[in-house]
Amino acid sequence: MIYRENGQFKTSYQADQAIFPIAQDRWFVYASIAAAFLVVPFVIDDYWANAVFLPFLAYAMAAIGLNLLTGYCGQVSLGTGGFMAVGAYSTFKLVTLFPELNFIVVVLLSGAITAVVGVLFGIPSLRIKGFYLAVATLAAQFFLVWLFNKVGWFFNYNATGQITMPPLEVFGVLVTGPRATPAASYLFCLSFVAVSALAAKNIVRGRIGRSWMAIRDMDIAAELIGIRPLEAKLSAFAVSSFYVGMAGSLYFAVWLGSAEPIEAFGIDQSFLVLFMIIIGGLGSILGSFLGAAFMVLMPIFLKNFMVDGLGVEVVTAKHVEIMLMGVLIVFFLIVEPHGFARLWQIGKEKLRLWPFPH
Amino acid sequence: MGSELLFFSETVISGLMAGVMYSLVALGFVLIFKASGIFNFAQGVMCLFAALALYDFLSADGWASQLLGFTIPLWLAIVLTIAVMIVLAWLIERLVLQYLVKQDPIILFMATIGLAYVLEGVGDILFGSDVKPLDIGIPQGASDWALDTMGLYVEKLEVVAAVTAALLVAVLAVFFQRTRIGRALRAVADDHQAALSVGISLRAIWVIVWSVAGIVALVAGIMWGTKSGVQFSLSLIALKALPVLILGGFTSVPGAIVGGLIIGVGEKVAEVYAGPLVGGAIENWFAYMLALAFLLFRPQGLFGERIIERV
Amino acid sequence: MTPERKFGDVILSVEHITLTFGGVLALEDVSFDIRESEIRAIIGPNGAGKSSMLNVINGFYHPQEGQIMYRGATRSKMKPHYAASHGIARTFQNIALFKGMSTLDNIMTGRNTKMKRGLFWQAIRIGPAMTEEIKHRDYVEHIIDFLEIQAIRKTPVGRLPYGMQKRVELGRALAAEPDLLLLDEPMAGMNVEEKEDMCRFILDVNEQFGTTIALIEHDMGVVMDISDRVVVLDYGKKIADGTPDEVRANQDVIDAYLGISQEEVGAVN
C-alpha cells in the first residue's frame, strides 16, 4: 500500500520512459544519492574507505562494464581482469609520461585506451559465440597479464615489477597517494561512478541498448531485421571495456595505490566480477551495484563471524569463502538467474499490497 | 643424431608427453559434453579432488586411516576414491543439474564455474591445501633404455601416462559404440527431448556420465599428482583444457587426444624456441592464442561437427 | 473471392533459384514474381522449401544459383541488412521475438534501421537522442493501436500467449514501414478467432498502406480467400503459379497434397 503507483499517470512519452517512473522509487533514489554525496564524506574514515567504499565503487564500475557486455549483449567475457589491467597500466604510463594532465582526463583516457584494446579482442565475437567466445577472452586475459608482467616499458623498468601511483590532485585536493583523505578519494570515485552509471542506463534504454539485447536474445533474427551484428557487438565491447578500463584505473590509482599484474588482475578477478553480475543480476545496472556490494561485504562479514566470532583460522575462513561463493553462484543460477535485482523487484511488487494480504 | 635434432626431438617428445596429460583432463570434458551438452568447467577441480581423496585414503593420518585404525592398501584406496567420485556425481546431478535442465548452455557453464569453486573450497577444508606428493608406485625418472639406445631423455612417468591414455580411449570407444548405455549416452547428447521420449532416463544417464568423468579425472589426477604433487594448480589445468577442446572439437574423444598433443607440442616448442626472445613464460598464453586462431578459421575444431543454424 | 484489383509493376522476382545446404536440395530452379500491392501466397506440403524461399529473399540463405530482382536491382544474393533497410520485413515460422524485452521494446527494434543517433548522444540522452526516441515511439504507438495490443505494451514477450506473440512479431515487422512484407505461417497454431483477427490485420495493412505481402500459409481457406495469386512448391520445385482458382483446379497441386501415385492416376483416368 505504501508502494502504489495508483494515481501516477504519465502524459508524455518522455515521462513514461523515465528511469524511475514511480514516484516512490524516485524519492528513494534521490535520498540515497543525497546520503552518498552529503552524509558519507563526513563520517567516512580510513578503514571504511579502504575496506568497503573504494573497492565497492571500483568493482561496481567494473560490474557495470561487464554487465553491459555479458548481461545486456550476451557476450561472455572472462577477460575482465586483463582489461582492468589495461586501464591501470594506461593510467600509470599516462601520469608518469604526462604529469601535468588533469587526473580526470587520465581516467577517461585510460578508459578510451581500454576500449580500443577491447574492440580488438572483441573482433572474434563476430564469428564465435557462447563459451567459445569465453575462451577467446581467456586468451586476452592471459596474454595481457603476461604482457604487463614481462615488458618493462609498462612498469617503467622498476626492479620489483610493481606500479605505484604518485600523489595527484584534482581541483587542488589530493585524491591519490597515501596522504589523500578518505573523503576526497571517496567523493572522486563516487562522482565518476554516478555519472558513468547514468550514462550506462541511458545507453541501455535507447536504440543501442535494444540492439544489444536483441543480439543477446536471438542474434539471427536481430540481423534479419536490420541490426548489424558487427556494430552491435563491437560497440558492446567498446563501451564495456571503456567502463572496465576506468574501473581498473580507479582500482589501482585510488584504492590500491600499487599493484602487480597477477595478484591484482589475474583470472580470479575476472571470475569475481562475473560472480558479481550473476549474483547481482544479469542485464541490470542496479544489479551491478548490488552484486559488487555483496561480494565486497561478504568476505568481511565471513571473517568477522568466523575468525573473530567462532575462532576459526584465517586460512579456513578463506576456504569457506571460496566454497560459499560457489554455492551462491549455483544457488542463484538455479533459483533466480536474474539475481538480487530481480529479488528487489519482487520485493517491491509485494510492497504494493503490504500490509494487505491481497 | 645431430645435437640440434636431438634437442628438437626431446622438445617435441616432452611436448607430446605434456600433451597427453592435457588430453587426459580433456577426455573428461568431452564425455560430459557429449552426453549432456554441458561444458564442465569443474573438471580440473574434479581431478584435484579425486587426487586429494586418494592421497588422504592412502596416508597414515588421513580420514580413512584414522577411522579404521590402519592404512588401507592401494587397491582399496582406489576403489574408495572411485566410490567417492560416483557419490559426487550423484550429488551434483541431484542438487544442481536437474534444476538447470532447460537453461541456456551459458547458464550451465557458469554453474559449473560455481561448482568448481565449491569443490575447491570443500577439498581445501577436508584435506588441507598444502602440496602433497603422490606416490602410488608409478615408475618415475628418466628412461634408461631411451637414453642408452637413442640418446633421448624421456620420462618414464609420461610414457605410462601415454599408455594409460591410449587404454582409456580404447575402453571409452568400445563403451560408446558397443554397449546399450553408450548408445543411450549418444542419444542424450543428440537430443534430450527425443531421448526422454524413448524412455531413456536423463537423470540416470547424467549420473553415469559424471561418474565416468570422475573416474577419468581420478586417472588424470594420479598422473598429474605424481608428476608435480597434488596441489591447487591442478585445477587450473581446466583452463588449459579449453584450448585442447577447441582444437579437437568438443564432441570428439580422438579430438581430445589429438588436440592435447598439438597443444602440448606447440607450447613446448614455442617456449623453448621463441620464449627466450620475449622473456619467457609464453606457455601462459600460447595455447589460448592458438585456440583463438582455430576459432576464427575452423570453429568446430579438427574433429568436431559443423553447426548449421536454421531460422 | 477478392474482386479484381489493379496491381503495380513487379516489385520482386526470383529467377532460377537453386539452394542446397548440408546435402539437402531445398530449392530447385524456382522462379516467380510478386507485383506491388498484391497478396502473394506461397503454399505447398511440409518440407517443400517455402521458408527457405523466404530466407533467400531476406538474405539469410544465399542460393547457389539464380538471381533476385528487387525494385529494379538484380543481384545473385541478398544481404540481410540491405533487405531490412530497403523495405523488406518478415515474420518467422517459430516466433523470433526477443524474449528478454517487452512488447514495446521489441517493436521499437523494428525501427532500428531508421534511428541514427550515435553512442555519445545516447549516453547523454537529453537532446537529439530523446527527440528521436519520442518520434519513433510515436510511430510504434500507432502500430500498437492498430494491432490492439495496448494492454501488453510493457509485458516481457516471453510471458505472452502464443497468439499474442505472433501479433507482436507482426508489429515489429510493420514498424520497419516495409514495402514488402514476408509472413511465414502467421496463423499457425491459432484458433478461429485469432485467425480472423490476423486476417483482418493483414488485409488492413495491404489496403491501407499498399504493402505488398508474400504469405506462407497452410490454411487453404485463408489462402483462397485473401490472396491474389498463389505459387505452389513441392520438394523444392515450383509446380503451379496463378490465381487461387487456377491453382485449386491444377492436377499437379491436387496430386502433391493428396499424394496420389502415378499408377492410381492412370487407373482413375
Interface contact flag, B125 A271, Cβ < 8 Å: no
Segments of chain A scoring below 70 in pLDDT: 1-6, 358
d(CA C196, CA B116): 54
Strands (E), A168-264: 169-170, 173-174, 258-259
Q: Of chain A residues 140-179, which have a CB less than 8 A from chain B?
A: 142-143, 145-146, 149-151
C23 touches chain B (CB under 8 A): no
Q: Which residue has the cell 601415454?
A: B162
Which band of pLDDT confidence, cut at 50, 70 and 90, is reported for residue B204? Answer: confident
C93 touches chain A (CB under 8 A): no
pLDDT at res. C263: 46
Alpha-carbon gap: B88 to the closest alpha carbon of chain A (Å): 15
Which band of pLDDT confidence, cut at 50, 70 and 90, is reported for residue C1? Answer: very low
Strands (E), C22-72: 24-35, 39-43, 65-70
Interface contact flag, C112 A210, Cβ < 8 Å: yes
Residues in A touching C176 (Cβ below 8 Å): 225-226
CA distances in angstroms from B101 to A131, A269, B112, B206, B248, listed in the order given:
18, 29, 13, 11, 26
**How confident is the model over B104-137, as pLDDT tens digits?**
777 888 888 899 999 988 988 888 777 777 777 7
pLDDT at res. A193: 95
Residues in B touching A136 (Cβ below 8 Å): 288, 291-292, 295
Q: Cell for A327?
A: 554455492
Please state the ipTM of this predicted complex: 0.85
Please determine, for residue C131, whether its predicted confidence score (pLDDT) is greater than 50: yes
pLDDT, mean over chain B: 80
Q: Cell for B153?
A: 631423455
A131, A146, A334: residue with CB nearest B285: A146
pLDDT at res. B275: 76
Alpha-carbon gap: C92 to the closest alpha carbon of chain B (Å): 7
pLDDT, mean over chain C: 87
Please determine, for residue C261, whether its predicted confidence score (pLDDT) is greater than 60: no
What share of chain C has pLDDT > 70, as a percent?
93
What share of chain C has pLDDT > 90, as a percent?
53
**How confident is the model over B49-90, as pLDDT tens digits?**
888 888 888 887 777 777 777 777 888 888 888 999 999 999
C30: how many CB neighbours lie within 10 A of its CB?
24
What share of chain B has pLDDT > 70, as a percent?
90
pLDDT at res. A347: 82
C21, C22, C96: residue with CB nearest B311: C96
> What is the DSSP secondary structure assignment for residue A182, as one 8-state letter?
H
**Closest alpha carbon to A38 in A180, A187, A255, A254:** A187
d(CA C74, CA C178): 19
Q: Cell for B283?
A: 606457455
pLDDT at res. C266: 46
Interface contact flag, C80 A239, Cβ < 8 Å: no
pLDDT at res. C259: 61
Residues in A touching B284 (Cβ below 8 Å): 142, 145-146
Element (DSSP H or E) covering residue C14: strand C10-21
C52 touches chain B (CB under 8 A): no
pLDDT at res. B308: 52
**Closest alpha carbon to A50 in A240, A182, A154, A211:** A182
A202, A220, A224: residue with CB nearest C125: A202
d(CA B154, CA B143): 6
Residue of B nearest to C97 (CA): B311
B308 touches chain C (CB under 8 A): yes
**Closest alpha carbon to A196 in A35, A332, A37, A64:** A64
* Neighbour subunits, C (≥3 Cβ pairs < 8 A): A, B
**How confident is the model over B223-268, as pLDDT tens digits?**
888 877 777 777 677 778 888 888 888 777 788 888 888 888 888 8
B119 touches chain A (CB under 8 A): yes
A14, A210, A221: residue with CB nearest C96: A221
d(CA A251, CA A271): 16
Residue of C nearest to B308 (CA): C22
Residue of C nearest to B307 (CA): C22
pLDDT at res. C269: 42
Lowest mean pLDDT across B98-102, B148-152, C214-218: B148-152
pLDDT at res. B146: 67
B113 touches chain A (CB under 8 A): yes
> What is the DSSP secondary structure assignment for residue A166, as one 8-state letter?
P
DSSP track, chain B: --HHHHHHHHHHHHHHHHHHHHHHHHHHHHHHHHHH----TTHHHHHHHHHHHHHHHHSTTSHHHHHHSSPPPHHHHHHHHHHHHHHHHHHHHHHTGGGSTTS-HHHHHHHHHHHHHHHHHHHHHHH-SS-B---SS---SB-HHHHHHH----BHHHHHHHHHHHHHHHHHHHHHHHSHHHHHHHHHHH-HHHHHHTT--HHHHHHHHHHHHHHHHHHHHHHHHHHH-B-THHHHHHHHHHHHHHHH-TT-HHHHHHHHHHHHHHHHHIIIIIGGGTTS-THHHHHHHHHHHHHHH-TTTTTS-------
Q: Suggest the residue from C52, C58, C90, C101 to mutate for an interface test with chain A (most A CBs closer than 10 A).
A: C101
The predicted model gives C16-34 an average pLDDT of: 89
**Closest alpha carbon to B249 in B262, B240, B239, B259:** B259
The pTM for the full model equals 0.88
Neighbouring C-alpha atoms within 13 Å toward the C-beta of C152: 20
C261: how many CB neighbours lie within 10 A of its CB?
9
**How confident is the model over B90-105, as pLDDT tens digits?**
999 888 888 887 777 7
Please determine, for residue B311, whether its predicted confidence score (pLDDT) is greater than 60: no
A312 touches chain B (CB under 8 A): no
Please determine, for residue C202, whether its predicted confidence score (pLDDT) is greater than 80: yes
The predicted model gives C18-46 an average pLDDT of: 90
pLDDT at res. C5: 58
pLDDT at res. C41: 94
Cβ pair B159, B16 in contact under 8 A? no
Residue of C nearest to A338 (CA): C100
User: If you compute the radius of gyration of chain B from its CA atoms, what whole number of angstroms results?
Assistant: 20
pLDDT at res. C264: 47
**How confident is the model over C228-254, as pLDDT tens digits?**
999 999 888 999 999 988 888 888 888
Please determine, for residue C262, whether its predicted confidence score (pLDDT) is greater than 50: no
Q: Cell for C60?
A: 539469410
d(CA C103, CA A47): 48
C188 touches chain A (CB under 8 A): no
Please determine, for residue C267, whether its predicted confidence score (pLDDT) is greater than 50: no
Interface contact flag, A326 B115, Cβ < 8 Å: yes
**How confident is the model over A55-98, as pLDDT tens digits?**
999 999 999 999 999 999 988 899 999 999 999 999 999 999 99
Element (DSSP H or E) covering residue C216: strand C212-216
Interface contact flag, A333 B115, Cβ < 8 Å: no
Which band of pLDDT confidence, cut at 50, 70 and 90, is reported for residue C72? Answer: confident
Q: B309 phi and psi, to 5 degrees?
A: -95, 135
DSSP, collapsed to helix, strand or coil, labels residue A174 as strand
A271: how many CB neighbours lie within 10 A of its CB?
20
CA C206 vs. chain centroid, Å, equals 12
Please determine, for residue C265, whether its predicted confidence score (pLDDT) is greater than 50: no
Element (DSSP H or E) covering residue C237: strand C237-242
**Closest alpha carbon to B241 in B228, B250, B254:** B250
Residues in A touching B246 (Cβ below 8 Å): 132, 135
Give the pairing of strands A163-164 and A258-259.
antiparallel
Q: Cell for C49?
A: 522449401
pLDDT at res. A122: 87
DSSP, collapsed to helix, strand or coil, labels residue C11 as strand
A120 touches chain B (CB under 8 A): no
Q: Residue A147 corresponds to which amino acid?
A: L
C26 touches chain B (CB under 8 A): no
pLDDT at res. A307: 76
d(CA C175, CA C136): 9
CA A235 vs. chain centroid, Å, equals 17
